[in-house]
Amino acid sequence: MSLKTWLLAISAFAGTVHSGQICNLVFDQCPGNFTSGTITVPQNVIWLDPVVPVCAENVQVVTGTTSPPPSIMFVIDNSGSMGKKLGDGTDPQAQRFKVTTALMDSIYKVAPATEIGLAIFSRRLAFEDRDNPFFQRAFPNDTSQHDAYAPLTKLNHVFANGRTGLDTMQALLSTTPNSNGDLIYNTKNPASRVNKGLKPDNVRDGTDITLGFQAALQAMSVATAPKESQFIIFLSDGDPGGQDDSRTAVGDDFMKGIKTPTTYTVFFTNGGNVPTKIATMTENIKANGYSATNPQSANFGIDTRAEQLLPLLQSSVLNPIFANTPGKPVSAVMSVTGGAQYTSTGVDAKNFTFANRVPLSADQTEVKLSYTYTYTDSGVTKQKVVPYTLSIKRSAAGTALTTGLSSACQDQGAITLFNKGTQINLVTADHDILDVHLTLANGETCNACKVEVKPSKSPDRENVALAPSTGFQLGSFGRETSTLVKADGKLQHLPTDSIVITYINPDNPLDIVRKAFPYSDVSTALTVTHHNDWSRGGDAVDPKPGEQFVLVTQGNVSPTVESGNKNWSIIPALITRDDSLRYVGNVIEASRAFKVEVLIYTNLGQFVNKIQFSLTQSEFNKLAKGVKSNTRQLKVLWDNVAADGSKAGTGAYILKTTVTLLKIPGIAEDEAVSTDYRIVGVLRAK
């Protein structure tokens, strides 16, 4: 195989390393947020991270079961500033309605008999008693005003049409497609009050917070839950303003908090700052003495609705409503496609921790999580188990992870090959014993691990056991070029094969490290033999000027001058015995390209002459074939002439011949040097 072919082989196989970055899928949010639909991840995500978040909503446990379930009124701002135009407003995606809908699902799971009502306001309430008798007047004693709310209704109540209270309340929160908060069931009737600044059919402008609270208090007047189990959840984005003409005087009455149950306010704002009027309202409600739970009232400012609103309401609102004491996360169990099951080894307030990463399947993985919490109910410790089922699909490399998910990546392991302690990238015929070094990714261990060694085309397969060494796993194997496959622990392959080494992580078959090493069936062969120990001075044929040496070989060879001037001629052969006897010198037999230096001295050490040249691989290939396999031969002979062109006299001369085999890229030890010293005689006839 030529050097050009070797280099092409090295280039081709450089891209076959099956290594790079491998990643864990990390849950930054409760896994329960991802149970609907399929989680799509890039191809290099092959593990589940061993740290999985505790879910705040899992501690929503009903305690004191002898008490009736709570009564909850949602007071929701639907003024134009919440989303007048998509992209311009505090909640243009109507998250306040979507999240409230999701929150009702959570409440239903915890306490299906909970009473839920809706008071949705702008300058007027969203519903009217003229639309449907289900809606209740906010001002029952004033028949001229038709503002109405959805009354407190048990979520598990079943109406005559078969719909439940949960179905009904969630339907009332549905918005028109691509809307900025327009409710499907918003009243179409003109306003019953005068507002000189707004048209009667305007249902979005103005922010009459007091109106929303008046409706909520009217609804609470018939609540079945005791006062300490009555709650208002208030979602808004602004100070009051734009009230109808007859209501400007009561615009700030909500701040007083008179006879108002425990209230949790979420205020949509840039920067997360809650206005003074909202803060004042909260303090007044906490201190109004309405119930024992009123001091729990709180307000929260958020500026990222989609990511913050649901977790906030679940952890900071529902938990205080539904639990006397917070549930304590205890353990988690995870099972994946194929039946493997893992149990958490640690837990804190934020995360469950498993002993190891969990491998994903090649295509789609079903993950079943079971979280266990304990809580105290009436002095008795009880347990709650919450299940989740997730579907994870590995897809194209450019796949982006959805919000709430991230990846933790690290470099994959690496395979290197050594011969006699020196790293190699190309295997040659000299390498009969090879050492495999497997360097694992940071922090990984490998018990009883192995690599498979095989030729690229031939059938032999060898499994090489690895043992821990300093910073890597180490194993060794022998090799030979042979067509016969023998079960002897030695790799048999053809000269046309490359050698492929593959590591498959026993804990995850998707974690594959593969590297191919090209092979060259060339050994490091170099010999220097002698051509005559003495020569006749060649008086019958005068040397040509400037040609004090002769190179004997077949082919049109063009050596490269290393230094000085060219001082040789090239002949294809020595025809007669007399021709041969004219010269002394050496016969060089080598396995690849080389360079030569011949220095000639008198037996007293005086310099006489020298020759220096090198042969590239392409020129080397023109030389006559040598005696040994895969070698070529060149005679470098002295014409008994000194460097100044004068004839050397009769006497003894010292020849120092140095031949250096040139390197093959990637094989450090393949530069071989041979130096030959000899004494020769020159016999001149006259």
Q: What is the pLDDT of residues 269-324, one digit of tens each?
A: 776 688 999 999 999 999 999 998 899 999 988 875 556 787 788 778 887 787 64
Give the residue with greater pLDDT, 629 vs 587.
587
- 608-618: pLDDT as tens digits: 999 999 999 88
Q: What is the mean pLDDT of residues 649-674?
A: 81
| Radius of gyration for the chain, computed over Cα atoms and rounded to the nearest angstrom | 45
| pLDDT recorded at residue 64 | 47
| pLDDT recorded at residue 89 | 62
Which CATH code, of 3.90.45.10, 2.60.40.10, 2.40.110.10, 3.40.109.10, is assigned to 3-20+413-520? Answer: 2.60.40.10
How many whole angstroms separate alpha carbon 390 and alpha carbon 293? 37
Give the residue with greater pLDDT, 329 vs 85.
329
| pLDDT recorded at residue 68 | 72
Give the residue with greater pLDDT, 167 vs 317.
167
Architecture per CATH, 75-322: 3-Layer(aba) Sandwich (3.40)
Which CATH code, of 2.30.38.10, 2.40.50.100, 3.40.50.2300, 2.60.40.4070, is assigned to 526-683? Answer: 2.60.40.4070
b/e code 152-170 from CB counts within 10 Å (16+ = b): bbbbeeeeeeeebbbbbbb
How many whole angstroms separate alpha carbon 422 and alpha carbon 435? 10
Beta strand pairing call for 328-336 and 364-377: antiparallel
Which residues touch 629 (CB under 8 Å, ≥6 apart)?
none
The answer to whether the beta carbons of residues 58 and 216 sit under 8 Å apart is no
Does residue 21 register a pLDDT over 90? no
Q: Which of 75-84, 399-408, 601-610 has the lowest mean pLDDT?
A: 75-84
Q: Same CATH topology for 3-20+413-520 and 23-57+327-410?
A: yes
First to last CA, the chain: 50
Highest mean pLDDT (candidates 263-277, 279-293, 319-333, 472-486):
279-293
- 552-593: pLDDT as tens digits: 998 899 999 987 889 999 999 998 888 899 899 999 999 889
- The closest alpha carbon to 371, from 328, 409, 431, 331, belongs to 331
Beta strand pairing call for 414-419 and 450-455: unpaired
- The chain-wide mean pLDDT, for the chain, equals 87
Determine what percent of the chain is predicted with pLDDT higher than 90: 60
Q: What is the mean pLDDT of residues 627-643?
A: 90
Q: What is the mean pLDDT of residues 498-521?
A: 93
The answer to whether the beta carbons of residues 77 and 236 sit under 8 Å apart is yes
- State the burial class of residue 45 (Cβ atoms within 10 Å of its Cβ: 0-12, 13-18, 19+): buried
What is the DSSP annotation of 169-191? HHHHT-B-TT-SS-BTT---SPP
The answer to whether the beta carbons of residues 535 and 640 sit under 8 Å apart is yes
Binning pLDDT at 50, 70 and 90, where does residue 18 land?
very low
Beta bridge partners of 347: 352
| pLDDT recorded at residue 524 | 81
Architecture per CATH, 23-57+327-410: Sandwich (2.60)
| pLDDT recorded at residue 378 | 53
Does residue 326 register a pLDDT over 80? no
The answer to whether the beta carbons of residues 536 and 580 sit under 8 Å apart is no
- 219-253: pLDDT as tens digits: 999 999 999 899 999 998 878 999 999 999 999 99
b/e code 343-366 from CB counts within 10 Å (16+ = b): ebeebeeebbebeebbbbbeeebe
How many whole angstroms separate alpha carbon 203 and alpha carbon 124? 7
Evaluated on CA atoms 230, 236, 240, 246, the torsion sign reads negative
Give the residue with greater pLDDT, 682 vs 15.
682
| pLDDT recorded at residue 315 | 75
Binning pLDDT at 50, 70 and 90, where does residue 8 land?
very low
The answer to whether the beta carbons of residues 315 and 302 sit under 8 Å apart is no
Determine what percent of the chain is predicted with pLDDT higher than 70: 90
Binning pLDDT at 50, 70 and 90, where does residue 428 land?
confident
What residue segments make up the domains of the chain, in order of their start? 3-20+413-520, 23-57+327-410, 75-322, 526-683
209 residue type, one letter: I
Which residues touch 307 (CB under 8 Å, ≥6 apart)?
403, 404
| pLDDT recorded at residue 429 | 84
| pLDDT recorded at residue 222 | 96
